Amino acid sequence: MTDKKLIFGEPEYQIDSIDNADVIVLPICYEYAPSYGKGSQDGPIHILTASEQLEFIDEETLFNIGSLKFFTLPLFYPNQPPPQAMDEIYNRACELLNLTQFMLALGGDHSITYGLVKAASQVYTNLSVLQIDAHLDLRNQWNGSPYNHACVMRRIIEDVDLPITQVGIRSITQEEFQFLRQNQMYPIFAHDLDNDQWIDTIINQLSNNVYLTVDLDGLDPSVIPGTGTPEPGGLTYRQLINLIKSVSQYKRIVASDINELCKIPHTQVSEYTAARIASKILVYRFSCHSAHP
């Protein structure tokens, strides 16, 4: 917890009225029964703090992110029992998404995505979910809850009834393997990234409206070492950015979250990289000609 008012980027990019914002930033400080490393509850604090160091002219597009109007909400601490927390996140996201601006949520563990996607499904038709992750997150229950971060995508499939495209997968349980086969699901595994056609395959799987969820362990630990369940062999930073760019050119990213940051003391590389990924999502969302802002 911090007494400092946290915002995304520099103060001059913030506006006082949420109704006039282009981007609404929702920091969700929530972690429940983590599988391995702890600390994701404070992830939004560290990402927002790191975002103060961002230069807002994008080097590739020369798009000025500072031309966007930001409204950063106060830190949101859902109650700990998972069903209640999911309802609180869902209700808050519904309020924000109904304002029709772009919502960027910062977690928190990956369980937050359930409430966010459920809310997005109430606002947007023809919606699919693009998941960047080392793990399938398709367990039916884990650590005593069906709403654990290891179950989030299964809840989205079974409870929200949305198609998902999973990218960067390299950790699978027997239960999840059986679920894949029963449901004829074909994730983009980490070794598939060696194929030049992997981005085209993803775009062809997605519907016109896309919810993007970025579990930071989807990237290789050499890029993001600060995450609770690191797995070797993940996406490079450039692979992720190229994917986000390509999806933005052909589809409409309607909302996004970044989750599972666990700060490592005495280094800022993970949280700064997460903040830079957030800025790149905004660059392509608002600059690509087919993004339909």
The residue whose two tokens read 């947007």 is 124
Residue carrying structure tokens 């399938």: 136
pLDDT at 293: 42
Question: How far is the C-alpha of 189 from the C-alpha of 169, rounded, in Å?
Answer: 4
State pLDDT tens for residues 163-175: 999 999 999 999 9
pLDDT of residue 291: 44
272-288 pLDDT per residue, tens: 999 999 999 999 999 98
The CATH number of the domain holding residue 225 is: 3.40.800.10
Say yes or no to pLDDT of 88 above 50.
yes
Rounded to an integer, what distance in angstroms lies between the CA atom of residue 254 and that of residue 213? 11
Residue 288's pLDDT is 84
Average pLDDT over residues 184-198: 95
Three-state DSSP class for residue 247: helix
The pLDDT of residue 34: 80
- What pLDDT does 3 receive? 59
**Residue 111 forms part of a structural domain:** yes
**SS3 assignment, position 72:** strand
Residues 107-120 pLDDT 10s: 999 999 999 999 99
The Cα–Cα gap between 220 and 238 comes to 11
Count of domains forming the chain: 1
- What average pLDDT score do residues 154-182 get? 98
pTM above 0.85, yes or no: yes
pLDDT at 292 over 50: no
Mean pLDDT, to the nearest integer, of 13-37? 92
b/e map 76-94, b = 16+ CB within 10 Å: bebeeebeebbebbbebbb
Residue-averaged pLDDT of the chain: 95
Q: How far is it, in rounded angstroms, from Cα 108 to Cα 114?
A: 12
- Is the model's pLDDT at 249 over the cut of 50? yes
Residue 67's region, left for phi above 0, alpha for psi from -120 to 50, else beta, is alpha
Structure confidence at residue 149 (pLDDT): 94
The answer to whether residue 251 is domain-embedded is: yes
Whose tokens are 């666990």? That residue is 262
Mean pLDDT across 226-238:
97
The first and second tokens of residue 148, run together, are: 């654990």
Q: Give the pLDDT score at 167.
A: 98
Does 293 map to a domain?
no
What residue numbers bound the domain in which 114 lies? 11-287
Q: Does 89 fall in a domain? A: yes
d(CA 68, CA 228): 32
Where does the chain have alpha helices with state H? 43-51, 82-97, 112-123, 152-155, 174-182, 198-205, 237-250, 269-287
Separation between Cα atoms, residue 119 and residue 60, nearest integer Å: 33
pLDDT band at 253 (very low <50, low <70, confident <90, very high): very high
What average pLDDT does the segment 184-190 reach?
Answer: 97
